Amino acid sequence: MSTSPVQTIDAQKLYENALISIQLGIEDFEESERASGNKARTLSSVRNLFAGMLLLFKYKIAASVNDPADAYAIIFNHPTIVPESDGNGGIKWVPDGKFKKTTIDILGIEQRFKGFGINVDWSVIKQLQDCRNHLEHLHPKHTYGEVSGFVAELFPVLSDFISNELGLVPSDVLGSAWDTMLAHKDFYNAKLDECADSWELASVPSGAEFYLSDCRCKMCSSELLMAAQEDLDLNISVEHNEDQFRYRCVNCGYADLIAPELLHAIYVTNYQDSRDGSEPTLEHCYQCNHDTFLILEQKCAWCDAELEYNACEMCGQALTQEEQINGGLCSADEYSREKFMRED
């Protein structure tokens, strides 16, 4: 009778591979910046960086137990055990046949972290994952601006994880990759601030200001969009010249109208498909003529127009734009009132 050998995992190997992957990712990143959007390098950068981060997480999990066999057990997925007929009216429990030996994915890491009390900001990790998936599935030519934001956001995640969870000094661990990321993050955040400041002179409609940070360059998907200096010099504004006022992308130099990007951001954030029977969330605004009136908030997301009468004086029901002509009554109560007056 033979027993299968106990499988083990070398945590140190995971650590080394994590660092190699992150360093390669930063080299790719520098190369893609130099070649201004080298597609292959951009994708390779984000893949390597994301994989490196996950390897570092797996290293932490594996290093949390003393026995290398335990480390193996918690890093690899386990087959699902499913019941099958034993052919005699009974059942037997067997591993699911389709099972392939793989290491745990991001969901598995999240579960293990919970179990071992390891902390990271999962909302940021999920954002990074979305960005990576986005780059994988879309034509990378139009998204290379995103890698810049990716690296800037990854930096604090790695930095905190290495200091707080591994108890190491991030600059020692990552070497020159650390310096590159730190410089990039500072540069990137400074540019983000500059972009935000530039719009203060552009008279963006008050409701829409909130959505500036959701706008992306049409050419490269970067979020680094500035108010176009030429348009500021012309003294035009987004509020009054929405078919003229442009953004200029700091990342790739492309310029285009900002209003459609803002309207798109408002739509994406607030639109709810009402075909499933739920209440529609957006409608045409009587003030500014955009489809940006938030029905439930009773306020326009573009021009900030609000209702004069918010609730029906009779029944308390929330009023719509359409019902404003009733002077404070809902349609049903207005109808009863008119009927009563006619009968009088």
Cβ 25 to Zn ion shortest distance, Å: 22
Residue 204 touching Zn ion (CB under 5 A)? no
Window contacting Zn ion (CB under 5 A); options: 36-44, 134-142, 150-158, 254-262: 254-262
CA dihedral 251, 257, 263, 269 (to 10 degrees): -10
CB closer to Zn ion, 165 vs 223: 223
Window contacting Zn ion (CB under 5 A); options: 41-49, 75-83, 92-100, 326-334: 326-334
CA dihedral 257, 258, 262, 268 (to 10 degrees): 50
Task: Give the residues across from 318 on adjacent strands.
Answer: 311
Binding test (CB under 5 A) with Zn ion, winner from 202, 219, 226, 236:
219
Residue 24 touching Zn ion (CB under 5 A)? no
Residue 333 touching Zn ion (CB under 5 A)? yes
Task: Determine the 3-state secondary structure of 294 from DSSP.
Answer: strand
Residue 217 touching Zn ion (CB under 5 A)? yes
Alpha-carbon distance of 281 to 285, in angstroms, equals 12
Alpha-carbon distance of 95 to 88, in angstroms, equals 19
For residues 278 and 295, the answer to whether their CB atoms sit within 8 Å is no
Cβ 27 to Zn ion shortest distance, Å: 23
Binding test (CB under 5 A) with Zn ion, winner from 76, 210, 254, 309:
254
Residue 251 touching Zn ion (CB under 5 A)? yes
Residue 153 touching Zn ion (CB under 5 A)? no
Q: What is the DSSP string of 142-171?
A: GTTHHHHHHHHHHHHHHHHIIIIIS-S-HH
For residues 205 and 288, the answer to whether their CB atoms sit within 8 Å is yes
CB closer to Zn ion, 259 vs 288: 288
Residue 298 touching Zn ion (CB under 5 A)? no
Window contacting Zn ion (CB under 5 A); options: 110-118, 132-140, 141-149, 195-203: 141-149
Which segments of 207-298 are extended strands (E)? Answer: 225-227, 246-249, 255-257, 282-283, 293-294
Tell me the angle at which helices 122-137 and 145-160 cross, rounded to the nearest 10 degrees.
Answer: 150
CB closer to Zn ion, 19 vs 282: 282
CB closer to Zn ion, 182 vs 192: 192
Residues 6+ apart with CB under 8 A from 10: 68
Binding test (CB under 5 A) with Zn ion, winner from 181, 265, 305, 319:
305
Q: Which residues bind Zn ion (CB under 5 A)?
A: 145, 217, 219-220, 222, 249, 251-252, 254, 285, 287-288, 300, 302-303, 305, 312, 314-315, 317, 330, 333
